[in-house]
Each structure stands twice: as structure tokens, then as C-alpha cells.
Amino acid sequence: MIVVLGEVGGVEEYEIVSAIKSGEITKEVVAWCIGTCGDYFSTEVQFGHAGSSANSTSETASAKNQALSNIGAHVPESFDDLGKTIRKVYREMVETGQITPVPDVPPPQVPIDFKWAQELGLVRKQTSFISGICDERGEELLYAGVPMSDVIKENLGVGGVISLLWFQRRMPEFAYKFIELCLIVTADHGPAVSGAHNTIVTARAGKDLVSSLTSGLLTIGDRFGGALDESARQFSKAFNTGKTPLEFVNEMRNSHQYIQGIGHRVKSLNNPDQRVTALATYAQANFPATPLFDYARKVEKITTSKKPNLILNVDGCIATLFVDLLYQSGSFSHEEARDLIDIGCLNALFVAGRSIGFIGHYLDQKRLKQGLYRHPWDDIAYMMPK
């Protein structure tokens, strides 16, 4: 079956009449040309968006409908009957066996739009990574679920921000103050240490702040500032396994290992490190208990009996006190505390604090307009092969 919907104007419908007459079209044709109301106007009328109009009597809708009907096409009485005529012809073709109905094929199911499904909560896009500390998507920035306005209103300070971003939770106020104290005492230790020296040399080579800071940070390791994590592990293992301070010292000596957090190039019993004194004083006044730090002090008594400079240095002090903080603050389970020590949160304290000093050295060199640094020859021992 062919269904034709023509219109007033033009002669294309007569081509269908000719095709039916010549046998070129053999299918049943249901046709209607719209615009028959034009016969009721006394003047020429244009129809539709294209401005269709009959330029002669043969181009009127009525003339075309009559021609189609005369040739055998099925033409309804009016446009309103077009659907009825299509149904009538279809049923006759079924009854006479011209066509055999087949079940309707259900249309393919179109998947729901992804964005719409996301809004409905039906799907979750696979993410590239997970962030559990900060969310900037809402009306207000969140630090571990805490609105920025609350951070400021409650005066959590830098220590509180580190607590939220590093440990994903609020900690007691004494913990915030201790974190800030650690940043203060580790901020700088003069221009002669390797990190500050590298920063200064890089700054004087004309490099930018980030490059200079990075060159200093890359010197941090077991020999310079990066001993906190290992110190915490060594002291914690000895303490948790029930070793006495003397057994711990002897075990480390027999295995030819240094006790991380013990020893200083300059400070000694006779020239104590005031940073250690400040940290110990604060912790003993504010912490619920300091069992690991007390254990480290007993180790110090043994090591300084051999050499006065084998003191508990600032790395060992921060390491043992921070382990006490993790276990005694009530904010962490023992397993969570162990995990934090293992992933390197203690070294992060030194890195954060010393970055302040490195930036200070960079700015100092730029302010002083220092030129390119070249190490003096008389400070180098040249040992050429013979």
C-alpha cells in the first residue's frame, strides 16, 4: 500500500495517475490532496508555509483528488476520513490474501541518558581517583566534611587544618597546638644544613621559588630530617615487644644499625637542644600520657653514657611524642595509628615545617640580590689519581 498526501498547486500528483494507468504502480494507493477548501474562495488563495496555490483548475486539490479517484486510487470523502480509508483498504488486502500481517517488532530500547541516570542516582561514573579529604563542589569548601566557615569560626588554626586534611578527623585541641609547635621548631635550622644550602644555591642560580624549594626538599631523607618515620618504627617496635631500653640499644649495636632519632652533630648533654626541651615540656603538660617518649628518654640515658652527643634529637623527640599523641588522643584505634606511621605522616611534619624555612631562605637571597654561587677552591680537597 502507498499512502499519498498531496496539496494544492503543482502537477506531481498527476504523475502518480499516469504511473497507475501505465501499470508502473501496482500497489493499492490511498491518496488525498489537501486544500479543497480553496474552492469556496472567490479569489486566489495561497496555502501553507510554501505559499501553495493553484495556477489552473487542474492544480486545485479537488481536481487532483478526482483524477486519482478516477484512476482507481482510494480517495476519502474528506481529510477526516483518511485514516478510516487506510484501515478499510488494509483490512480488505488482508482478507483477500494480498498481504499477511506480521507481529509488530518492538522498537529497540534506547539506553537512558547517562547524565539523567546520574541525577537519578541509578549509575556512578567510574572515577579516575578517589579523594577523601576535600570537597569543593558545593556552596562551601569542605575539609574532611567540615565547612570552611566552621574551620575559621572555631579557630582550628593550621594544626586543625592539618588534622582534617591529613588525618580526616578532628583531634583534641592540645593535638592542634602540638602540630603547630612541631612546625615552629622544624621551620629552619640555619643556612648550613643540606636542604637550606641547596635552596640557597638554586635561588642564587636565578631559579624560581618552586625549583629552589624542591631542590631543598629533595635532600630530606634518613640523613637529614627524614628520620621521623623510621625513628617511630624502631622505638615503637622495641617498646611494644617488651624490650628494655638496654636490650634495644644492644640489639641495634649488634646488628650494626643506627638508632634513628638519636645523636646530633652539635647538640649534646652539655649543650641541649632547646627545641627538644620545648616539645617535651608541652607534651608532659598537655598529653594524657607519654609512654614511648619516656622509653626514648631511658634509651638516651644509655647512649649518652657512651657519648654526650648521642642525645634524643628533635627527630626522635617529635617521632616518639607524635606516636604517643596518636595512641593517647582517643582519636585513633591502634590499627589506624599504626597505618598512619607506616604511610609516612611523621616525615610530613618535617617536610611541612622545613618548607617554611626553605621559602624564607629563597626570599632572603632574592631580597639581598645575591649572585651566582661558586664554591671556593680552598674548601675542596682535590685528590687526583697519579
Indicate which residues carry an active-site annotation: 49
- What's the CA gap between 6 and 64, in Å, rounded? 9
**All residues at 6 or more sequence positions from 351 whose CB lies less than 8 Å from its CB, including other chains:** 217, 220, 225
- What's the CA gap between 132 and 156, in Å, rounded? 19
Helix, strand counts (H, E) of the chain: 16, 5
Chain centroid to Cα 143, Å, comes to 14
Q: What is the DSSP letter of 104?
A: P
Find the DSSP H helices in 189-333.
194-204, 209-217, 228-240, 245-254, 274-286, 291-304, 314-328
Residue-level length of the chain: 386
Amino acid at 175: A
- What's the CA gap between 183 and 289, in Å, rounded? 22
Amino acid at 348: A
- What's the CA gap between 166 and 170, in Å, rounded? 10
Q: How far, CA to CA in Å, does 190 sit from each of 186, 195, 357, 358, 361?
A: 11, 10, 9, 10, 9
